[in-house]
Structure 1
Amino acid sequence: MSTFNDDDDIESSSAPLIEHLIELRQRLIWAVGGFFVAFLICFYFAKQLFNLLVQPFRWAVDWAGLDHRNVELIYTAPQEFFFTQLKIAMFGGLVLAFPLIAAQIWKFVAPGLYRNERSAFLPFMVASPILFLVGAALVYFFTMPMVMWFFLSQEQIGTPGQVEISLLPKVSEYLGLCMTLIFAFGLVFQLPVATTLMARVGMVTSEGLKDKRKYAIVLAFVAAAVLTPPDPISQIGLALPTIILYEIAIFMAKRVERPREVEDGDETASE
């Protein structure tokens, strides 16, 4: 008799599982399909996108007072620029399709959350891509031009007593530098979001973050040294925003602690 009941329980639980798997497959198809379409669009405009990424190099040339200098990049392998365009298409496709991918993740996860959990989690879903774009904009308009200006300052003008040394970046290495800085700054700008979520569930507290401030400053410079090229401008340019974002994270953690304390007090009073 018990075996019969166990079989019924298994059969009754298998139906929702199959439905979840079918829904997961549909969400994945939409996400992958959206990325593939965005990839094709970005690959079609890959050269224009690369020229857009070269704009910080042009600004650096102007800042260095090298108006006579041509902004020139090279590739030394026949397939190098083709693979560079593929990387641009993948990177651009991911950015372009991210709203669709995030929407599919949200539609799959949201039905399993309580209403208060959905209302608490949704703002972070919106804030995360915005902060990533802010970090990417900081790289594009400030950090990358400053980094290229620093590298341009290492050039040497040819004279009778010295050889001419010019900066001629490879297309793959220039794109790699751009993507490394964008990902590094984009991830660092997620610090307030991650810290606020952890504070909301009680994993960290604002007081604990304050006590660990000196360690966070050291880790900020260590992370900047690891994630950025070995030049002082990009390292300081990443470390300083990280420290500022850490202070913002402390403020946000303190903000979310207050509603949680009120909720805990209400639950205690009701008991």
Structure 2
Amino acid sequence: MSSPSHDKHDELAGTEQPFVAHLMELRDRLIRAAVSVLLVFGALCIYPTPSGLYDLLAAPLVSHLPAGQTLIATSVISPFVVPLKVTLLAAFLLALPVVLYQAWAFIAPGLYAHEKRLVMPLVLSSTLLFFAGVAFCYFFVFGQVFKFIQSWAPKSIAATPDVEAYLGFVMNMFIAFGAAFEVPVVVMVLVRMGLVTLQKLREFRAYFIVVAFVIAAVITPPDVVSQLALAIPMCLLYEVGIWAAGLFSRYSKAPDEEPEQGAAQ
């Protein structure tokens, strides 16, 4: 018969190595993700260069400024730091598939088969929807908003926005529209977790329209164009989420859930 101290020693010895192995794997995954971002960052520094990326980011605003006017830098280091921030952000977004794959490869071995069917489509769809929101904001919303603002600006005001202020504005808008385009994913997760039913979501439709316009009024600039550009897609994506939740919840069921539901019916 082994002593209690011997059993305790064996128990600790059995759990020490897997824990260290998980930490080492996590370190390797983080290093690979960081290296992928740095490689893309280096490539973007070569072409189109940080200044070229910022010019591309500022193009929707510059195209609506009066002739001969450009953005200004009120800080000494802004012309150097701000383009680097833009380049690093672009590198992270371009390397996001690799980063997400490293995260997925780390957690996947501990998931059941039905959980893997749930997580991977959510990761892919949320990433694509966020990119779609950013693209919609850049290619459509910015042009309409800046055109609207310039049409209301008095002729006695010289529009010379600061580069850092513009970057902050762009980041806030990108995050707002990227998050707003995640509405279908949020709806699917709520239905799959059993927190709400499809019938309740359909009944909540009218209230969500009000919520969408309130959110758009709070997080967008005080102009009608940007508020409508955010609220209307949210309402449409809510309907898409209801439709997709019905398909997705059935696709990601655990094997033991289907017989139980069949017996209940």
Query: TM-score w.r.t. structure 2 length?
Result: 0.88
- 2:51 and 2:83 in contact (8 A); partners too: yes
What is the match of residue 39 of structure 2?
A: 37
Give 1:81-160 correspondences, 5 Å limit: 81-157=79-155
Distance in 2, Cα, partners of 1:43 & 1:204: 47
CA RMSD of aligned residues (A): 2.4
Distance in 2, Cα, partners of 1:39 & 1:261: 41
- 1:199 and 1:256 in contact (8 A); partners too: no
Alpha-carbon distance, 1:32 to partner = 1.8
Q: Extract structure 1 runs of 4+ deviating beyond 6 A.
A: none
State the Cα deviation string for residues 140-184 of structure 1 (Å, max 9, x = none). Answer: 111000110011112333xxxxxx323222111222222211111
What is the match of residue 10 of structure 1?
A: 12
Establish whether residue 51 from structure 1 lines up as the match of residue 55 from structure 2: yes
- 1:43 and 1:85 in contact (8 A); partners too: no
**What residue identity is the alignment partner of 1:266?**
P
User: Structure 2: any 5+ residue segments left out of the alignment?
Assistant: none
Establish whether residue 224 from structure 1 lines up as the match of residue 216 from structure 2: yes
State the Cα deviation string for residues 206-258 of structure 1 (Å, max 9, x = none). Answer: 12222322332232222222322222211221111111111111112222344
Percentage of pairs with the same residue: 35
| Structure-2 change in CA distance of 1:116 and 1:24 (3 Å) | same
Distance in 2, Cα, partners of 1:236 & 1:149: 15
Establish whether residue 28 from structure 1 lines up as the match of residue 21 from structure 2: no
Give the 3-state SS of the residue equivalent to 1:166 in structure 2: coil
**What residue identity is the alignment partner of 2:193?**
V
Range 111-120 or range 38-47, more displaced:
38-47
Tell me the matched-pair count: 259
**What residue identity is the alignment partner of 2:16?**
S
Distance in 1, Cα, partners of 2:45 & 2:220: 27
User: Structure 1: any 5+ residue segments left out of the alignment?
Assistant: 158-163
Query: TM-score w.r.t. structure 1 length?
Result: 0.86
What is the match of residue 207 of structure 2?
A: 215
Alpha-carbon distance, 1:270 to partner = 8.1
| Structure-2 change in CA distance of 1:208 and 1:92 (3 Å) | same
Alpha-carbon distance, 1:268 to partner = 5.8
| Structure-2 change in CA distance of 1:269 and 1:188 (3 Å) | closer
